[in-house]
Structure 1
Amino acid sequence: MTEYGNIIKVRDDYKPTYFKKSSDVIEAESTISKNNQKVKFIPDPQSEAPWLNGSKEFNHKDLRSRIEPWLTALFQSEHLSLLAGAGITHAIHYIAVNASAAGMSKLDLETYGEEIDEAAKKSSEASGREEGNIEDQLRVANELLRGLEVLNDDKASALKEELEKGLQKFADSILKSEQGIATAQEHNRELAFNTLVTFLMSFASRTGVRDRLNIFTTNYDRLLETGAEIAGIHLIDRFIGSISPIFRSSRLDIDLHYNPPGIRGEPRYLEGVVRFSKLHGSIDWLQYGNDIRRLGLPFGASSVMPYLDVAGFPDMTAHKMMIFPNAAKDQETANYPYVELFRDLASAVCRPNSTLVTYGYSFGDEHINRVIRDMLTIPSTHLVIISFDDPLGRIMKLYDEWGRHSQISLLIGPELADIKNLTQYYLPKAAIDKTTSRMTELLKQRLPNVKEEKPSDVELDSIGPVMRSS
C-alpha cells in the first residue's frame, strides 16, 4: 500500500483509484459525523479516474453517489452471499471498547514445539502469510499427534494434553472478546450493536421472492449470531434441534413461510431469513460421540470449561471442540463437518448471476480463495471486496493474478471500509427502496415538471444506523 491508503473500483472503472484524505482538513474524533461532509480527498496523480472529470478533490458525498447505487444494484442479484472474516469482529469490538479483539496468536508447545512451529511457518508461507498462526499450528500438531498415536509413542499423550490446554486458552480468549462487547459501557455497546444490525440488515433485506442471502464466516465467535438475534433475522443452518442441536448432513431446502390472513393460495416467504455457515467451526461446536452438537454457551461467558461438564459425556474436553482444523479422532472426523460447509460455499457462490461480498476477509485461506477464483470463471458473477486495509498486499496481488477485473469491485481503506462510514454512507438502505421508488413516482405524477432533487448535505448527514434499520 502506498501513502494513498484507500482504493476504490466500482461500476465501469477500468483501473482502481487510489486516494487519501487531504491534509488541509483537520477532523476532530468527537465530531466525525458533523465534519464528514467537509472532509476532502485527493486522488493519486498516477490513478486514472474519469469519474472525477478532472477534479483535484472530492468528498464523502461524491463517493456515496458513486458507491451506494452500485451496491444497491448488486445486492439485488439473483444470488447474494456475504463472507465475513475477522475484520467484522475487530470493527465492532473497537466501537464497543476502543480496542481490537483477540488475535490468533500461536500456542506455546513444548512437545516437538520447534518442529511444529517450523512446519506451521512453511504452511503459512505457502498460503501467503508471513508467520504461522494457531490454525497452522493445529493442523500440523494434529497430523503429528495421529502419527505418534500410530507409533504408540510415549509423547503422544503429552502432546494431546498440551493441545487440550492450548485450545481451552484459545477458546477463552475468544470469549474474552465477546465479553468485552457484552460488558462495554451501555452507550458504546448500543452503538456497536446498532452498527452491526444496520450492516446485517443492508444484506438481509431482500424480498421473499429472491433467493435467500447466504452468510459465511471464518470466525469462531458468535458475534454475527448475536447481531442477527437482535435484528430479528432468522438463521437457517445445518443444526436441527432446540436443547442440543445436532449437525445434519442432509441439505434439505428448509425455509420459513407464513399465511397472510384472508388470502388464499400459496404461503408467502417470510422476510429476514438467512442461510448461515461457519466455515471454520465455532467455539460452541463439540463432538459428542459420532455427532457434532452445538453447546449452550452464552455470548460473553467467562470460560468454556464449565459448559463442557455434560451428563453422559464424562470425557468431554477442549480437544473435542470443532475448531478448524482440529480433529478429535481420525481423518474422517478431520473432514467432517468442514467438507459439508465448504460444499455449501461452493454451491452458493459458483452459479450464474451470483454476487459475493467479502468484509474483513484477508484472503489468507487458499481453500476459500480457490472457490472464489472458480466463481469468477462464470461471466455473470461479481465479487465485491470490502477491507479496512491490505497490509501484505495480498488482495491486490490476487486481483492482478485472477485477471477478472470487470467482475471485481474494490472498497479498500479506512475511509471506505470503516464500518461506521460504510453503514452510514455506502451500504444500501435497508428494506425501504420500494417505498422510495413509489414516492418518486408519486412526485413525478404530481409535479411532472420538477426534476428529482439530490439529497442535501443535511439529509445525507442524517442517515444513521438506527433510521435505516428501522
Structure 2
Amino acid sequence: MDKINLVREIRELKTQLSYSKNIGFFFGAGTSCALKIPNVEQLTTGIEEKLEGEQLKNFKIIKADLEPTLRPRKVNIEDILNQIRRIRELTGESKKEYLKVSGERARELDKEICTVIYDIIAEKEAIADIDNTKKFFAWLSLLNRDFSKEVFTTNYDLIIEKSLEASQIPYFDGFVGSYEPFFWQESIDQFVTKNDLTQNWIRLWKIHGSLSWFWKEDTKTKSQKVIRIGKIDNIKDEENELVIYPSKEKYDSSKKQPFIAYFDRLKNYLLSGELLFVFTGYSFSDQHINEIIFNCLRQNNRLTALVFFFQDAEVENLHRHTSSYMNLNVFGPTKAIINGNLGEWEFLKTELKSPAEKFDHYWNQTENKFILGDFNALANFLITNSGKKEAIETITK
C-alpha cells in the first residue's frame, strides 16, 4: 500500500480551511457519540431492554422479520421504525394485522419507541460535556465568509441547539413563530444574499428529525404538519408524536415538510459552486444521503469533500465506492484516500518546518495514528489553526 505524507496533507488541509470562501459541515452520529450520546445500535439495545409485555413481543416479531433481509449487518432501531410505519400505512392504523401486528398496536409501539428514545438521549444530554461543541460553533460563527454557514446533521439529539444557545450564537432551522413554531418552506428554498441581516447566522438542517419536532394534525386539512416545541418537562405528557427518523408520509403532500426540504437543500447546496464540505462522524451507511453526495461530487467539479473517520474500516469501505472521485479526500486513523488513492499515513518529523512545530493536535505519536476522526480532536484542531482561540474562549464563557 502506498505511503501518504501526513505533514504535507495537514499543511494542505490548513490552507483549504483558511482560504475557502464557502465551507459547510455534515455531522453524523459519531459527533454525538464523541459526547457519549448513544448511537443507533446502542439505542436499539436500550429500547429493547425498556419495552415490556405486548410491545416487547411485537418489537421482537418485527426485528426477527427484518434480520434475514439485512444480513450481514445488524437490525437497528431505524430499520424497525421504518417497518412499524409500513405496517401503520398498510393497515390504516386499524385492527388489520401484518406479521400478526395490528395497525393500532403498531401506532402505539411507534410512539412508545420514540418516547423511550427521547428519555434515553435526554438523560445522556443532561450530563454531556458540550464544551468542544460550543467551541466549534464559536469558531464557525467567527468565520468571515460571504456565504451562509450551513450544518447538516442526521442526529436528532439537541446538543447542537443547546451549544448554540448557551453561547448566544444566532441560528436558523427553517422554523418560525413563538407559540408553536411552524416550518416555513420558502426560507429553505432561497439562499441568503450579502445584504441579508441573517447572512452570518448558522443554518442548521436536521435531516432525520429532532427531539423537538412533533406531528400535529391540521384541523382544516386533516393532515399532519410538523411543529417545533421547546423544553419539555415530561415527554410522556406530550400527546403528539415525535418526529424521529421520519419515514412516513403523514402530511399534506402540497407542503414540503422539513426533512424533505432539507434533502433538497443539501443537493442544491452541494451544487451551488465552489464549496469545501466537511463530513465528521458520518459512516456513509445511509444510501439516500450517499446518492445525493456522490451525484453532486460528479456534477460539481468545484466541490471538495473532506471526510474524517474514526475507524480505518470505514476508509476501506468508502474506497470501494469512491476510488474514481478526485474531489473527495478521506482521513482515517492509519489510512487515507487522497486523490482517489488508498494509502497509509507516514508521519515524518523531517517534514515539519521546525523542531518546535506542534503536531500533537492531529497525530498521536504514541499510538501512531491520526486523531481528527474524533470530533473533539477535530474541534480542537480547527480552533488551534484559526488563531482565534482567545476570542472563541470568550464567546463560550
The TM-score, its normalising length taken from structure 1, stands at 0.63
8 Å CA contact 2:304–2:328 kept in 1: the answer is yes
> Aligned in 2, Cα 1:75/1:156: closer, same or farther, shift over 3 Å?
farther
Q: Residue by residue, what CA displacement relative to the aligned partner does 1:397-417 show, whole Å, maximum 9, x if unpaired?
A: 223322244312222236232
Q: Which residue in 2 is equivalent to 1:443?
A: none
CA shift, 1:328, in A, is 7.8
Residue 160 of structure 1 deviates from its aligned partner by: 2.0
Other-structure match for 1:201 = 138
1:83 counterpart residue number: 26
Amino acid at match of 1:388: F
When residues 371 and 385 of structure 1 are mapped into structure 2, their CA distance, relative to the original with a 3 A threshold, is same
State how 1:234-253 maps to structure 2 within 5 Å: 234-251=170-187, 253=190
Does the residue aligned with 1:398 lie in a helix, a strand or coil? helix
Task: After TM superposition, give the deviation of residue 359 of structure 1 in Å.
Answer: 0.8
**Alignment CA distance shift 1:331-1:248 (3 Å):** closer
Larger Rg: 1
Alignment partners' CA distance in 2, 1:214 and 1:370: 20
Distance 1:244 1:271 in 2: 25
Q: Is the 8 A contact 1:68 1:427 kept in 2?
A: no
Residue 221 of structure 1 pairs with residue 127 of structure 2: no
Matched letter for residue 206 of structure 2: K
With 396-405 and 348-357 compared, the bigger mean Cα shift is at 396-405
Task: Say whether the 8 Å CA contact 1:240–1:248 is kept in structure 2.
Answer: yes
1:116 matched to 2:62? The reply is: yes
1:382 maps to a residue whose letter is: T
1:120, 1:411 → 2: CA distance? 33
Label 1:149 to 1:422 Cα distance change in 2 as closer, same or farther (>3 A).
closer
CA–CA distance in 2 between the matches of 1:336 and 1:175? 24
Aligned 8 A contact 2:208 2:244 in 1: yes
Partner of 2:109: 162
User: Equivalent residue for 2:270?
Assistant: 349
Q: Distance in 1 between matches of 2:384 and 2:16?
A: 9
What's the % identity of the aligned pairs? 19
Unpaired stretches in structure 2, ≥5 consecutive residues: 49-54, 219-224, 334-369
> Which residue matches 1:388?
310
Partner residue of 1:421?
A: 377
What letter corresponds to residue 229 of structure 2 in structure 1? Answer: L
SS of the residue corresponding to residue 372 of structure 2 reads helix
Query: Which of these residues, 350, 363, 368, is aligned with residue 289 of structure 2?
Result: 368
Residues 1:325 and 1:469: Cα distance change in structure 2 (over 3 Å): closer
What do the CA deviations read for 1:78-120 (whole angstroms, capped 9, x no partner)?
43221101111121348xxxx9999331554456545522453
- Which position in structure 2 is the counterpart of 1:48? 3
Cα distance in 2 between the residues matched to 1:68 and 1:75: 11
Q: Which of the numbers 193, 196, 205 marks the counterpart of 1:277?
A: 205
- What residue number does 1:297 align with? 231
User: Alpha carbons of 1:76 and 1:242: their partners in 2 closer, same or farther (altered >3 Å)?
Assistant: farther
Q: Which residue of 2 aligns with 1:15?
A: none
Kindly tell me: are residues 268 and 110 of structure 1, through their superposed partners in 2, closer, same or farther at Cα, counting changes over 3 Å? Answer: closer
Query: CA offsets, 1:401-440, max 9 Å, x none?
Result: 22244312222236232334333345564475xxxxxxxx
Query: What is the DSSP-based 3-state SS (H/G/I as helix, E as strand, rest coil) of the residue aligned with 2:82?
Result: helix
Q: Distance in 2 between matches of 1:331 and 1:293?
A: 14
Moved more, 116-125 or 84-93: 116-125
**1:376 alignment partner, SS class:** helix
CA 1:362 to 1:167, structure 2 compared with 1: closer, same or farther past 3 Å?
A: same
The CA deviation at 1:268 is 7.7
Amino acid at match of 2:286: D
Corresponding residue pairs, total:
342
1:381 offset after TM fit, Å?
1.1
- Do the aligned partners of residues 322 and 348 (structure 1) sit closer, same or farther apart at CA in structure 2, a change above 3 Å counting? same
Relative distance call for 1:198 and 1:411 in structure 2 (3 A) is: farther
**Deviating more after overlay: 165-174 vs 152-161:** 152-161
CA contact (8 A) 2:134 2:164 kept: yes
Q: Report what 2:331 is aligned to.
A: 411
1:104 and 2:43 are equivalent in the alignment: yes
The CA distance in 1 between the partners of 2:196 and 2:170, in whole Å, is 15
Task: Tell me, in whole angstroms, the C-alpha distance in 2 between the residues paired with 1:333 and 1:286.
Answer: 19
Following superposition, the deviation at residue 469 of structure 1 comes to: 7.2
CA RMSD of aligned residues (A): 3.6
Structure 1 distance, partners of 2:127, 2:130, is: 13
User: Post-superposition shift, 1:179?
Assistant: 1.5
CA distance in structure 1 between the aligned counterparts of 2:184 and 2:27, rounded to whole angstroms: 23
Distance (whole Å) between structure 1 residues aligned to residue 380 and residue 250 of structure 2: 47
Equivalent residues of 2:278, 2:306 under 8 A apart = yes
